[in-house]
Structure 1
Amino acid sequence: MQVSIHEAKTQLSKLIAAAERGEEVIIARRDKPIVRLNLITEFQGGSRIGGLKGKKLKIGAKFDDPQLNKEIARSFEQA
């Protein structure tokens, strides 16, 4: 869908909803397309900073194992 700048200003919420549904939204000036409204896909999961606050995490016994740390370091050196 293509809309004018004026339409985009007055119907921004509807245009955002259309983009969320996967529709292509183009904003034009004097019938010349100038901007495409895109959904930011990396934020679709709804994760947020601090989402584990107050929850307990279990860390395996080998988490800080010196031998495992050496193996991990070697794998980075090979890359």
Structure 2
Amino acid sequence: MHDSKSQLSKLLDAAERGEDVFITRRGSGVTRFRISPAPAIARSALFGMLASEVPSDIDFDAADRALSESLQASLERDL
């Protein structure tokens, strides 16, 4: 067990190469490393997954116009 703690990255590398890696404690098996492929995530699940969380009624164009008008007014005051 102690050796496995200090050699964990090497043991994981071996498991990635397809080697069987067993961890034992005082001669009896504790665990076995096996590399499992990551579950496939559908592309549709990645894009748009926050659609119901973000308000869709925000008028970004109006915010841009308001900011532009505010900046323009500030510049005109400074002249």
TM-score range, shorter chain: 0.3 to 0.5
Structure with larger RCO (C-alpha < 8 A, sep 6+)? 1
Greater helix share, structure number: 2
In our comparison, the structure showing a higher alpha carbon Rg is: 2
